[in-house]
Amino acid sequence: MSGRRIFISGAFVKDMCSMASEQFNNASKMIAMRGDVPVNPMRICSPSWDWQKCTRRRLKELLDCDGIYMLEGWKTSSVAKTEHFVALKLKMTIELEK
């Protein structure tokens, strides 16, 4: 693939992991189908990692992307709000799930 790298951002809480995983995976498939490269944080962070380690890793991955795809419900997550802020400040392409 030679498309843009698109980071997927949204809320995911350990006790709702399977629901969030489906939402992130569906977004990954959609992004890949249009020719871009999805960066799915559900595949980056280990469930055994603490919040700080996962957040740091997510932000590192975001910085290597060309844009961000905000999943519905992202405003309920402090990490997703931070990712949105970073993308906004870096003038990345920001897409909102409809």
3-state secondary structure 28-84: HHHHHHCCCEEECHHHHCCCCCCHHHHHHHHHHHHHCCCEEEECCCHHHCHHHHHHH
CATH code: domain of residue 79: 3.40.50.450
Angle at CA of residue 27, ends 88 and 58, nearest 5°: 50
pTM of the model: 0.90
Q: What local confidence, expressed as pLDDT, does residue 19 receive?
A: 60
pLDDT digits (tens, 9 = 90+) for 42-52: 888 888 888 89
Q: What local confidence, expressed as pLDDT, does residue 20 receive?
A: 75
Q: What local confidence, expressed as pLDDT, does residue 1 receive?
A: 47
Give the domain range for residue 63: 5-96
- Helix, strand or coil, per DSSP, at residue 25: helix
Residues in the chain, pLDDT under 50: 1, 15-16
Task: Count the domains in the chain.
Answer: 1
Q: What local confidence, expressed as pLDDT, does residue 17 receive?
A: 56
Q: How far apart are CA 58 and CA 98, in angstroms?
A: 23
Q: What local confidence, expressed as pLDDT, does residue 8 receive?
A: 97
